[in-house]
């Protein structure tokens, strides 16, 4: 079973993906970490994030194990990744890696921006997780504060709005809801409520599939 989860920054898709992966015993890939990893390498090497050729080179040689680097989780890397992810050659370079992860025996859970539309258009389950920009900014502020990082919620909200625009307006694999994805608005839900909603959607889909063969 392949579960594709898409949505904007800080919508809760990553937390949901981890919970579903644990529930179903499936491997999980946060595809955004791939782009953060490429951006991290570029910054470490002094390359400009808008250098498309350099970004593509780093993406082609990217080692998946690098996504465990704790430095990738800060706000700076989120912004940098959004810039790098807009380069079509970077997305093309990382496409095979993501698809190979999804197609391993038994399936997988992947979350990102283009899982249901580009990476796994044939996924068994497609979810689009969203929330208002204000709620997402508040969540991100709490996350950063929990890691001891300085927090300016107004600046975070501005960053989120800018990332939304950049992610949805880019030419390569923009952030859009797949036609057959089910929307989960997490604005007024806690984690347990989001997970319960997702499980109800998944079990309903499974039931319909089973019924169609009877």
pLDDT tens-digit map of 22-52:
999 999 999 999 999 999 999 999 999 999 9
Domain limits, the chain: 2-212
Answer whether residue 98 shows pLDDT above 50.
Answer: yes
Contacts 24+ apart (CB under 8 A), 65-72: 66/37, 66/40, 66/41, 67/30, 67/33, 67/34, 67/36, 67/37, 69/37, 69/40, 71/40, 72/33, 72/36, 72/37, 72/40
pLDDT of 14 above 60: yes
Q: How far apart are CA 81 and CA 96, in angstroms?
A: 19
**Is pLDDT above 80 for 214?**
no
Q: How high is the pLDDT of residue 126?
A: 98
Q: How far does the chain reach from its first CA to its final CA, in angstroms?
A: 20
Q: What is the pLDDT of residues 121-150, one digit of tens each?
A: 999 999 999 999 999 999 999 988 988 888
Q: Contact 85/91 with Cβ under 8 angstroms? A: yes
In the Cβ-directed half-sphere of 78, how many Cα atoms lie within 13 Å? 17
% of the chain with per-residue pLDDT over 70:
96
Listed as own residue / partner, the contacts of 155-161 with beta carbons closer than 8 Å and 24 or more positions apart are: 156/75, 157/133, 159/75, 159/78, 159/79, 160/8, 160/9, 160/10, 160/133, 160/136, 161/133
- What residues form the annotated binding site for ATP? 7-15
Beta bridge partners of 6: 112, 128
Tens digit of pLDDT for each residue in 46-96?
Answer: 999 999 999 999 999 999 888 988 889 877 898 899 899 999 999 999 999
Does residue 211 surpass a pLDDT of 60?
no
- Four-way CATH pick for 2-212: 3.30.565.10, 3.40.50.720, 3.40.50.300, 1.10.10.10: 3.40.50.300
> What CA–CA distance (Å, rounded) separates 125 from 148?
36
The tokens for 98 are: 């993501």
How many residues are present in the chain?
214
Structure tokens at 153: 């919620």
pTM above 0.95, yes or no: no
Residue numbering of the annotated binding site: 7-15
């Amino acid at each position: 079973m392949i579960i594709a989860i898409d949505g904007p920054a800080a919508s809760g898709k990553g937390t949901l993906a981890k919970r579903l992966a644990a529930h179903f015993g499936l491997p999980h890939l946060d595809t955004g970490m791939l782009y953060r990893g490429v951006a991290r390498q570029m910054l470490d090497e002094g390359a400009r994030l808008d250098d498309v050729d350099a970004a593509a080179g780093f993406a082609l040689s990217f080692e998946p194990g690098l996504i465990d680097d704790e430095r990738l989780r800060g706000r700076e890397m989120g912004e940098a990744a959004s810039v790098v992810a807009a380069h079509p050659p970077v997305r093309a370079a990382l496409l095979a890696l993501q698809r190979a992860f999804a197609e391993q025996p038994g399936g997988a859970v992947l979350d990102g921006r283009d899982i249901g539309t580009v990476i796994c258009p044939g996924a068994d389950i497609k979810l689009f997780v969203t929330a208002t920009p204000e709620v997402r900014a508040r969540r991100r502020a709490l996350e950063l504060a929990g890691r001891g990082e300085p927090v300016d919620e107004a600046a975070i909200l501005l960053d989120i709005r800018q990332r939304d625009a950049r992610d949805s307006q880019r030419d390569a694999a923009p952030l859009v809801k797949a036609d057959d994805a089910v929307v989960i608005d997490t604005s007024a839900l806690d984690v347990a409520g989001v997970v319960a909603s997702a499980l109800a959607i998944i079990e309903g889909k499974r039931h319909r599939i089973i019924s169609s063969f009877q």
